[in-house]
Chains A and B, each alone.
Chain A
Amino acid sequence: DIVMTQTPLSSPVTLGQPASISCRSGQSLVHSDGNTYLNWLQQRPGQPPRLLIYKISNRFSGVPDRFSGSGAGTDFTLKISRVEAEDVGVYYCMQATQFPHTFGQGTKLEIK
């Protein structure tokens, strides 16, 4: 199984300031079709996960442009340019390149 490791596990951020979460996979996430199926999910308190970013850097429909994803191979980053109150929750990276699909431990974003 591909192990996904996120850092930090907790991120206290001041409103309006940037935030960054890193995700490292135990092996390359490049699929045989050439795509890299690395996604970022947001889970607000009491809500199901929702897709933020797919295939490393593509924002899903309705996701604000303050969210951005980057990376390649085994190292990936989610950045929030200016944190807003509604961004509070847990963020997960996940890989859908290989079965079983696996998830990072989650990073809890909270407001200072």
Chain B
Amino acid sequence: EVQLVESGGGLVQPGGSLKLSCAASGFNFSVSAMHWVRQASGQGLEWVGRIRSKINNYATAYAASVKGRFTFSRDDSKNTAYLQMNSLKIEDTAVYYCTRHDILTGHYYWGQGTLVTVSS
């Protein structure tokens, strides 16, 4: 069973930094691209970006709204993906979901999410 468990959310001041983690299990993590999606309270879903696998050179792609401030990384030995968020803005306040798009099957898996609140 695919499981994605996010952690690391919390309250941070504008301009601050936070690092989220996504612990994965139930699939071959090292060959999987990992995505992040966020959702502000009462709002819709916004794709944040993704990091590909080692064989794809850990290629990353970012939404325009976070490019230059957010960085994806991963530790395949720990089956964990990371989202480093710098220069946080109030509008970054959201629940952040770790997701996996299995391109072979078309399945899109979701974690439970972790809440990030940017406020002074």
Contact = CB atoms under 8 A, between A and B. Distances in A.
A50 B113 CA distance: 12
Interface of A is mostly: loop
The B interface is mostly helix, strand or loop, or mixed, namely strand
A94 interface: yes
Contact of A100 (B63, B95, B108, B111): B63
Contact of B110 (A49, A55, A103): A49
B110 A35 contact: no
Contact of B107 (A48, A54, A94, A100): A54
B21 to A, nearest CB: 16
Contacts, number: 55
B97 interface: yes
Contact of A103 (B46, B105, B107, B109): B46
A41 B97 CA distance: 14
Interface of A: 35, 37, 39, 41, 48-51, 54-55, 58, 60, 92, 94, 96, 99-106
